[in-house]
A and B are shown apart, each in its own frame.
Chain A
Amino acid sequence: MRRWLRDLLKELRYYPSALLGGSIILIMLVLSVLVPIWIPYPEAVRLWRGGEEVWYRLPRQVPPAWVNWFRREKLAGTLIFSTRDQPSLKRSQPAGEGRRIETEFVFDYPYDTFPQELVLYIWARFREKAPFLTATWKTPDGRSLRIMELRAEGMKQGFRFAQDRRLLQRLQGVPPEEALFSVPEATPPRVLKGTYRLRVEAVTFEPDSDVDVEFVAYGQVYGWAGTDRYRRDLGVALLWGFPVAMAFGLLGSVGTTLIAMWLAAVGVWFRGWVDELIQRLVEIFSIIPFLPVLILVGTLYSRSLVVILGVAIILSVFSITIKNYRAIFLQIRELPYIEAAQAYGAGSGRIILRYLLPRVLPLVIPNLVIGVPSFVFLEASLAVLGLGDPVLPTWGKVLDEAIFSGSLLQGSYYWVLEPALLLMVAGLSFSTVGFALDRVFNPRLREI
C-alpha cells in the first residue's frame, strides 16, 4: 500500500496542475478539520443566527480589510472602546448622593475616509433617579464640541450621532461622521488625521447607581471577509463553508461511487433477479428528474443538509454509471482467476470484495475525485434556489443572501465574489487532481 502510494505520487509529479490542486485540497481539508475546532458548531450558529446583540459592533455591509492594500486612500477601520471591556477607563468621585463618573476615550485616526457611523452605547443601572450624561468631542487641532447631553433610560441605549437633532443643528446639517473628523472648511471634505478625544461625563444620583459607555466608530472595512447587510461577519460563514462543502462533496461522491460500484458487482455476480432488479431500478431512476425531486423534498419534507445529501446520493446511485461498471464486471467475471477463487472455496462476498471490486478501482478513483465538485456545487445551487440548510452557514447561503440583497447593484462585489471564488477553487482543484489521476490510472489516455 505504501509502495503503491509512493508510485502514485511519483507519477503525479508530471502534472503540476494536479500538485497545485492537491495542495489546495489538502489546505481545504485541514481547514475543514480546524474550523469546527476553532469555531464549534453552536458558536458558529450563534455568530450566524444570534441576532443584533451578537454583531452590533460590526459595520454594516463593508468589504474586507485587505481591500486597503490596493487603495491609495485607506478606508476607515472600526474603532471600539468600552468601559465594559476596560473598567480602568472610568474615573469616579463622590458627588452628593451619587458619583461623578468621567471617561475619556483617546484614539488615533489615521485613515483617509470618514467612518460609516458613530454610536455611543450606554448601560445605566439605577433605581429611580436616572443618571445624566454629557459628551464632549476634542479634535487634534484643539477644537472642542459638546455633542450630547441626555438622561439615561436604563438597560442598553444607543446614541446615534447622525440621528440626534440637536447635534445636527449644531453642525449645520453636515453629517457628524464627516463634520467631526474633517479639516475645517476644506472642500471637498478631508480627514484631519491625529489624536481625537471623546470625553463622557456621567452624574449619578443614587449610591449604587453606575454607568458604562461604549464608543464605536464603525469603519468602511471589516475583517478578512467583510460583513453583510445584517452586520454579520462573512468570515464565519466562509470558514464554516469549508467543512460543510468538503463533507457534502466527499460523502456525496464517495457514497455514490462506492455504492454504485458495489451494486453493479452484486448484480453481475448473482445474476438472475438481483441483476434484473438493479438494472430496472437504474432505468427508472434515470428518467426521474434530479433537481425537481430535491426541490420537492426540500419544500415538503426537510431542508436539513443530511436529508438532502441522503436523497441526492440515492438519486445518483442508480445512475447510468452502474451500467458502465456492470459492463466491466461482466468481462472480469469470466476471467480464470475468478473461477480459481471459487475453486478454493471463496464465498460470494469474498469474490466480490477481493476479486471483482479491486479491478475497477483504477477507474473509480478518478471518478471519485472528479465527482466531488458536482456535489459541492449541488449544495450551492440548492442554497441559491432557497433550499439551503436553514441553520448552517455555507458558501451557498452567503451567495443566496448576496443575490437577494442586491449586493451587486450596491457595489458590494466582495459579497458575491468571495463564496463564488471559493466554490470555483474547490471545483478546479478536485478536477485537476481527478484528471491527472485518470491519466495515471488509465494508460490509454496517456500521450505516446
Chain B
Amino acid sequence: MTPSKALLQISGLTLHFRTRAGIVRAVDGVDLEVGENEALVILGESGCGKSSLARAILRLLPRNVAAYHGSILLDGLDLMRLDDESFRREVRWKLISMVPQAAMNAFNPVLRVGEQVIEPALNQLGMSRPEAMERARTLFRLVGIPEAFLQRYAFELSGGMRQRAAIAMALITSPRLVLLDEPTSALDVLTQANIFNKLKQIKWELGVSFILITHDIAVSSELADRVAVMYAGQIVELSDAQRFFREPLHPYSRGLLASVPRLRHRGELAFIPGRPPGLIQLPPGCRFADRCPLRFEKCAQDPPAIHREGRMVRCWLYE
C-alpha cells in the first residue's frame, strides 16, 4: 500500500560525522515516504542511526558533520535547497516539529511550562501571548494535563506529564509533521500506553503525520500505519504495519519480532546473536550478513532495495 498522497519524500538522505576514529556513517542513503495523516514508525536498535535520521530531517546538525546530502521534499518544497536561516524560519515547527528524545530535560528550568510551550508559537508564528496561551490550554486538555500545570515549572511535573507537555509544545504551531524521538523511553508501561493512546487521538483529531522513532516494537504497533526498519544507517524494510507484524520480510525484522515476548509463547525468548556493526567500519555487502541465519554467497554483495507488493526490503532473498 503506497501512501494516498506523499507529504514527505526523502531520497538518498545521507548524514556522516567526522570523529577521531573515522567517519561515522550514521544515515547512509535513506529513502522514505510519509503520507498525509500517517504514522510511520522507524524501528531499530540503539546506535542504528534512528535519532540521526530525525536530526537530518530537521537539520539539527552537530559541528562535526562530514557529509549531509540527499533530498527532502515536504509537500513539494525542497528543504535541502533552503539556506539555514530560511530553514530555521520556514520549516522548524511551522512544517515539522519534534518531541526530543529526552523530553524530561527539554524544558528550560527557569521558565514556567506554559511560557515554554508557547515559545514556538510566539517565535515562529508571531502569535499574541493570550492567543498562544489559549491554544496551549486547548492542547493541554487534548494531551490530558490539567491546565493549572501551565503555571508550574518543569521540575514540578511528573515524567509522563513532561512528555505530554513536550507533545503539546510540538503541536502548538499546528505543524504538518511531528517527529517523535523515543517519546516513551524513560516511562513506565502504563504511562507509555497512555501516551500512545493520546497520540492516536491527536492523529485522529488534528490530522497530523507522525514519524515515531523507537526500539519498542510492542507499544509502537498500537500507532503505526507503516513501519520502517533501520539497521546500520540504512532502511532495510519498509512496509505497511498490518503485513509487517504478521509477516516480516527481512531476516532482521523477523529476529526483532521474534524477540518480543508473547502471552501464549512458551520457552526461551528468541534473540539475534552478535552485535550490530560499528558505523565507522561497515562490512562490504549486506550489513546484516554476519548475524543473519539465512546468509548465502550473494550476501557478500550490497543488496538492492527490492520493491514487492508495495513493500520494500533490502535483502537478496527476495530478488
Contacts and interface: CB of A to CB of B under 8 A. Distances in A.
Nearest to A343: B98
A337 B169 CA distance: 13
A336 B105 CA distance: 6
Contacts of A188: none
A358 B110 CA distance: 7
A37 interface: no
B122 to A, nearest CB: 10
B111 A354 contact: yes
A336 B60 contact: no
Contact of B92 (A335, A337, A343, A359): A343
Interface residues of A, number: 18
B88 interface: yes
B110 A345 contact: no
Given A337-B107, A355-B108, A345 B120 contact: yes
Contacts of A339: 60, 100
A336 B106 contact: yes
Given A354-B111, A359-B110, A340 B100 contact: yes
B144 to A, nearest CB: 21
A358 B120 CA distance: 18
Given A343-B92, A345-B88, A346-B119, A337 B60 contact: no
Contacts, number: 58
Contacts of A337: 105-109
A344 B119 CA distance: 8
B93 A344 contact: yes
Nearest to A358: B110
A159 to B, nearest CB: 74
Contacts of A344: 92-93, 97, 119-120, 123-124, 169
Contacts of A335: 105
A395 to B, nearest CB: 38
Contacts of A355: 108
B280 interface: no
Interface in B94-140: 94, 97-98, 100-102, 105-111, 119-120, 123-124
A342 B60 contact: yes
B19 to A, nearest CB: 17
Contacts of B124: 344-345
A341 interface: yes
Contacts of B98: 343
16 contacts: A335-B105, A336-B101, A336-B105, A337-B105, A337-B109, A342-B60, A343-B60, A343-B98, A345-B88, A345-B124, A346-B123, A347-B88, A350-B123, A354-B111, A354-B119, A359-B110
Interface of B: 58, 60, 88-89, 91-94, 97-98, 100-102, 105-111, 119-120, 123-124, 169
Interface of A: 335-337, 339-347, 350, 354-355, 358-359, 361
